[in-house]
Structure 1
């Protein structure tokens, strides 16, 4: 079956190529004239690059949408219906007994936004400080935002060398490590969701007998909590230490993520229905975690545990050996994995305990405010101070509590 490309997608592709050609023309012109880019040319490149990213995001969305439409159209033709579900002539129907493949959604679940700004966003923050402007924006969700290169400058023409200081590092955080999908709500509004319990099982019944029912569904609620952190610093620091900007934001982002981890672990610990396991005397932590993994596997969540959250003080009890777990001696890379589960060290978990869970299946991160950065260059100008603030609002909604096990290790001898 021939499918035509969406004309809107075609137009966006043309716009993308046009913008790309314009950027290349500006760059080649300066190269041909054997000179540096002018301020005006740099500004043109930045503006067109931003437009290019927006168009690319639209193209990606339209391509996915068209692929889904094509899959539905193909299946509809196969089973003798049009795309609106109306039967065609019976002669066009698939032969009786023919296996009809159904479309399967291949889109990965959307994860929490990045915390650190991209290089382009970082540059805009830097310029706002230099210009004495206030600026507030939400961090880009683009997956490659931290690897995309950019030509940058301040309005004075001085290179923004802060952006050349190392790499923009995204802090480690539980929400990303565990692959927890996200859902959005309006601000800090309460989110209500179904919680699926463990009572009620399928069974084989005789003809005429009452069939079993699953009705262990209750109502859960979660309200995003605002996490924030700010710092004041002088304009002289910004002028004389260009690398200070990027290092400061990385520090604020790391501390924000640490508090976010505490919130998520706290939600697990406070949720009714989460399984528990206390190790027997002399039982090794590795054995305890395997028992907990078995408890998740034997529950009705229908998924494998994918991550163990553990206190850093207990890592030695899991991996304390001179021989690497993958055959090297000593271990060449820091790879904390146990029987296919990632091991995530965090002080949010109490020493002597752990949380084993199918995080990516049994919970969702509820986001009320995506990570947002604010630069205030004006309110404290008489004190020659600049304020930078980062904040977000989120919580964890656990819809299948039995997919988590809180483990208490045996006391170390």
Structure 2
């Protein structure tokens, strides 16, 4: 409404200017005055024409290449404008407004150099250009979106601006054209320093790669082809007068549960939450390759749970889940942690990934470790982001029997993240 009123008054202003110049030519007379009038007459007529020209005749399309990708990837965008009335337009400014989710650039591992001051990454500029279409019916504008972050990014409108030669008349139009691009979380490389497994009698960690351990003897049996000579039990062999070998306890892998804390107390730690998503995805997929049975839980506003197996569909479900989740600013994660642990079998390894840490969460982790549960808590925060309370909780967890590791810029910027299990 306001734009229409402004255009109307500018239209009246153009008519007044033309009338004044005509009056000057009538009263002054002579070649110069009439030359000025007829010289500016095309400009006035074009201004009047532009006032009446409907920008609603423009239709817009937007295409992405590719439309689905991985965080940190570059996306090429092509905006195409078409119109039905090929009337002359001197210039046209095309702007493609970016959604707020694209305000920052995901430079993959390099972005974690700014883990303590993530707002430095908020440096993406608006995408706009100026074209001179004149009588063209089809206009195309291409630009590159570099380092696109994780998530679903929705584009809603295309803005166009045009005007006359004198800058008196200026018209704007927002064309609705909705498109989405989907970027999955970057698949990081994670190295587990030791595997999570258990023996039939007693519990202890066993290093990878998987080998047959010969330090826990469960009994003896007759010698069979393929048994090592060092496995022969000479005392029992001499007693029974036949070769007898030792039988060792078989190692079995334990199932893994990866629990992602979907909340952060401090909104300035949104980059640490991105790292938590990447790390939890990498741990789930890595554990899936090792153990073949992984449970993934996202503790957000609505708890989401996936049972992963060595199937393509499971991997796609995990990617889809982690591509869309956004952090909560408040939650009761410590209560969810205790509740979930009580519902899980005690013989499951629990890996917790979180970008927040407080005294309540620390107490919950300690309580779980005291219940003879295998717990690994991975906390992500910048070196300059730690509070005194968090530092005290970290010191307590590091001195306890609970598995704990604090991941900072030094860990996240490396090519491979090493997790000590």
TM range (shorter): under 0.3
Higher relative contact order (CA 8 A, sep 6+): 1
Larger-Rg structure:
2
Name the structure with the higher strand share: 2
